[in-house]
Structure 1
């Protein structure tokens, strides 16, 4: 299994399984994203919800950024605001106050369509429960985010599945795959649009330790191509693989 992934800022070309072409997909030295660049950042973000018993503050003045090529783990007790923070980072929810910056530009004021397009072009998602379509093959699940885009993403989907070790499972449906294989399909799907940031919600939550390590090794290799990775987790294994761990308690973020 190769550890090479297309660079997040590389043009979306039809990939090849040829060795020479595969090597060409590596980020060349002059194309590496600076380690101190932050493709995604929250500045002074507060998120509040109105409930029948008053206002609940899920996030309180959060400052956070992920560097290109960095893996950051977010830990904290249940109900601490981790899912809310991931939703804000993923442009699925808007903050009550503060700013969300993509490559330094604020996303406030975007229409829902613009937010959807920006999310699709910039952010990949990996979920604990995989969220694969049962009736679709591995290749079809991976190319699904490109369904309404021009061109055929099948060659890239095949290439990504091969890179995560599933080149012999291309036509298998989810019920023919193990938990670890399903998570690898989900990872490949998250990379189909060459995101700058990968957001993972409990990426090892449904996996045994050995399989979890294999999945985290894949995530590590993805980060090494310049993708910033943010993982919400309760698993100590994830924090061991992370470059940095932050803790969220009652909506307040601190270094762990």
Structure 2
């Protein structure tokens, strides 16, 4: 894939995506002809009940799975033609992930966890990791390990880690799921700041609080997107 910035193209787009699985009782349609565009500088909340297809859609947006029909476009280019190695490389460069359960390495400090996605790169990203942790309010927690951090602090470390490679898109899976309301609001404020810097943010969630902070909310029910 071209390493240009895809000027004029949205960071990520799903075009007519259908995803079907072979289940014990027959074919299951997880996504049904879904069109969806991630816009720069916008927070979009994808909401829906369990089993509605949210995880499948997140996997499509994260270039982790292939559709049965339809196409995924990253910076205006179709992803289908990429090899597995190319896809991994472009995902690392262009897409950041924030998970409900943080996925921090317990034996590493906050700085080391943030630097983790760059471990196979030649450059030293320590200064950028320190800067990102400062931006999310953790300048005084650089050397702390996850067991020395609160839930909200862990989520902020995870957000900083997702930004280490300056992605075009940030995908958040239930970003407030393990947080109390006050901490969730603080984390969502950080996510809004990230979008204000030009990153396209998509949050997949059950939490109506996320919708309050989103620029756009869409509903996913039985694999069909509305909104």
Q: TM-score, normalised by structure 1?
A: 0.85
Equivalence for 1:186:
158
Write the mapping of 1:32-111 to structure 2, written as runs, cut at 5 A: 37-111=9-83
The DSSP-based 3-state class of the residue aligned with 1:150 is: coil
**Which residue, 186, 189, 197 being the options, matches 2:169?**
197
1:119 to 91, 101, 110: 91
**TM-fit CA distance, 1:66:** 1.2
Q: How many pairs were matched up?
A: 223
The corresponding residue for 1:19 is none
Deviations 1:26-53 (A, max 9, x none): xxxxxxx87xx52100000001111222
Match of 1:163?
A: 135
Q: Deviations over 1:124-147 (max 9, x none)?
A: 000000000000000000000000
Q: 2:117 aligns with which of 145, 154, 176?
A: 145
SS of the residue 1:59 aligns to: strand
1:238 is matched with 210
| Structure 2 segments unaligned to the other structure (5+ residues) | none
Please give the alpha-carbon distance, in whole angstroms, between the structure 1 residues aligned to 2:21 and 2:193: 37
- Structure 1 position 109, deviation (Å): 1.9
Q: Which ranges of structure 1 fall in alignment gaps of 5 or more residues?
A: 1-8, 11-32
Cα shift at 1:103: 1.0
Q: Tell me by how many angstroms 1:58 deviates.
A: 0.3
User: RMSD over aligned Cα, in angstroms?
Assistant: 1.3
In 2: Cα distance, 1:56 partner to 1:251 partner: 10
